Amino acid sequence: TTLEYLKNALLEDIEKIWAAVDEPETLSTAPLGEFFNVEITALPYYEFQEKKFKEQVAQLRQRFVHSIYPGGLVGDRQEVVAASGFPLHAEEIWKKIKDNKDLDLPAVKVMVATVRCGEIADEKLKCFTFDEEWLKMKEAVQAGPESGFGKAVSSILENYLSEYDREVVYFDQEVRNDKRRQLLSNALMVVHDAYDTMLMHLYSNTVNRFKTSLEQSLNEGQEYVAAIHLCSQSCMLEFDQGCE
């Protein structure tokens, strides 16, 4: 096709330009693809297919915006530094050069990851703390047990953990995992008081229900030990379900 012909022609020209570039001896045989991702794409003609043109431009834009994610422009490169952490990364490298120190890029990479993952974790914790759904549940539980409290809070928190995971995917794995654990721990501390309040409500309701059920069972003529056993099982089951 015409597009395939144009692709081949352009790639040949680019390869010729690359071959003509003066390179260090150790890199003289390095292929272009080792340093650059070269892609050639075509867009519909704007005058006749305006809608398709805009759709494909939007898709192409997303590949730039989310360049380090799978499907992005450099989504296949595992050793890239995330763009949000690059200024700090470059600053530390330049500082080492000026101080005439031996470069220790792995240490710099860990430092950048520590700073940025910490910042991202703090941002997600703040978002969770002021999440509207969470605040509604926090307020509601003050008045009494909230059905499905645990599952609902877990779902909200999991959304922010997933956002964190996506944003730190190209930082040092050990650092990002450590910051994730800290984020989860801090988020659970935010939830702790509300959850404790709900447990107190459940405890109070369960004790009252046990007393009422036991009294009713005894009035109906059940044996004391059997009545206690049945009422205990029933009330504890309800308590466990309320904790979910």
118 and 184 in a single domain? The answer is yes
Is residue 156 classed as helix, strand or coil in its secondary structure?
helix
Task: Provide Rg for the chain, Cα atoms.
Answer: 30
What is the C-alpha separation between 107 and 93, in angstroms, rounded?
10
- Flag whether 228 is in a domain: no
- Flag whether 240 is in a domain: no
- Flag whether 242 is in a domain: no
113 and 185 in a single domain? The answer is yes
112 and 196 in a single domain? The answer is yes
Is residue 84 classed as helix, strand or coil in its secondary structure?
helix
Q: Confirm if 115 and 88 have CB atoms less than 8 A apart.
A: yes
- Flag whether 116 is in a domain: yes
pLDDT, tens digit, for every residue of 139-186? 888 777 667 777 888 899 999 999 999 888 888 889 999 999 999 999
72 and 139 in a single domain? The answer is no
- Flag whether 93 is in a domain: no
Alpha helices in the chain (DSSP H): 2-20, 50-65, 86-98, 105-129, 132-140, 149-167, 173-219, 224-243
What is the C-alpha separation between 172 and 109, in angstroms, rounded?
7
State the pLDDT at residue 191: 84
Residue stretches of the chain with pLDDT short of 50: none
- Flag whether 60 is in a domain: yes
- Flag whether 88 is in a domain: no
State the pLDDT at residue 162: 92
What is the C-alpha separation between 93 and 216, in angstroms, rounded?
76
Of 81, 97, 128, which residue sits at a domain end? 81
For residue 13, give Cα distances in angstroms to 7, 39, 228: 10, 13, 87
- Flag whether 113 is in a domain: yes
State the pLDDT at residue 165: 92
User: What does the DSSP assignment read for 28-67?
Assistant: TT--GGGT----------TTT-HHHHHHHHHHHHHHHHTT
State the pLDDT at residue 76: 54
Q: How many domains does the chain have?
A: 2
11: which residues sit within 8 A by CB, 6+ positions away?
Answer: 38, 40
What is the C-alpha separation between 138 and 6, in angstroms, rounded?
61
33 and 74 in a single domain? The answer is yes
Q: Confirm if 92 and 108 have CB atoms less than 8 A apart.
A: yes
State the pLDDT at residue 77: 56
Give the predicted TM-score (pTM) of the model: 0.51
Domain limits at 22? Answer: 2-81
Q: Confirm if 43 and 53 have CB atoms less than 8 A apart.
A: yes
